[in-house]
Amino acid sequence: MPMSGTAAEVLARQRLALSPIDLDIALRPGDEAAAYELQVETNRLLARKLGALAGHKIGCTTPVMQKFLGIGNPCAGRVFAQTVFGAHAEIARSNYRKLGVECEIVVEIGKDIEPGRDDYTPQMLLPHVGAVMAGIEIVDDRYADYRALGAPTLIADNFFNAGCAMGAPVADWRALDLAMLAGHMRINGAEVGRGTGAMVMGHPLAALAWLANRRSADGDVLRRGEFVFLGSLVETKWLNAGDEVVIDIERLGQVSLAVIG
């Protein structure tokens, strides 16, 4: 069996078992190109249990998250259908190892973004965005030592993603200045962080352009109906059973997540 296949099986098995992701050094992808190849193989196995690939997440798109994770460039992952929740959701603490949440602007793809080019810009992608919404990315730190594992292994494992909760789509988003939208997060009623869309690579659609170019390099289509989490406006916050997190993004609305025991 090819080494990458063995690595994919290990990553999938560890994720589903909630055991620490601790890929043997001989199996770790050596660079980001190898990481995205391994991500595809790992996701093919995970989809058997977690459902079809429904959307995308982008990590490390803001200075606060790059500093927090010690990684200097964006990283992309995929989100599975069975891990997607609505605007007011409940999740069980026992389904996660170290449960965290992020406050994000999300876009819905309204028209396929085809591969074959590496020069997508935010302006070019305007016709491809069907709607914008507020979202909570659910993350899970399953890593024995994520800094020691390195960014390529984190990418292969979908870069901390464990699901999401999304608010109602806003179809008339073109009337909004996404860079100026302010968002904040509260946990159990207390504010724990705030930021604006401009923190995401200067403009949220710059993150979408980065993803389009990244996926295009691998021949992947960003398909109509898929969603993209563009990056957190605040540093990741960690939750315990009994906690409730609420995010509110100006003009996009509110999303909440309650953690039950």
- Ordered by start, the domain boundaries in the chain are 53-260
Burial-class residue 30 by CB neighbours within 10 Å (0-12, 13-18, 19+). Answer: exposed
- Residue 6 CA neighbour count, 13 Å, CB half: 9
How far apart, in whole angstroms, are the C-alpha atoms of residue 18 and residue 169? 32
At 1 the pLDDT is 34
**Which amino acid, one-letter code, is at 27?**
L
At 5 the pLDDT is 56
Q: Which fold has domain 53-260?
A: Fumarylacetoacetate hydrolase; domain 2 (3.90.850)
At 3 the pLDDT is 36
At 62 the pLDDT is 76
Spatial neighbors of 247 by CB under 8 A, at least 6 apart, are 103, 134, 135, 136, 183, 184, 185, 186, 254, 255, 256
Spatial neighbors of 67 by CB under 8 A, at least 6 apart, are none
At 4 the pLDDT is 43
C-alpha closest to that of 18 among 92, 120, 73:
92
How far apart, in whole angstroms, are the C-alpha atoms of residue 154 and residue 32? 10
At 70 the pLDDT is 74
* pLDDT per residue as tens digits for the range 2-31: 334 599 999 999 999 999 999 999 999 999
At 179 the pLDDT is 98
Give the residues of the chain that fall short of pLDDT 50.
1-4
* pLDDT per residue as tens digits for the range 214-229: 999 899 999 999 999 9
Q: How much is the pTM?
A: 0.95
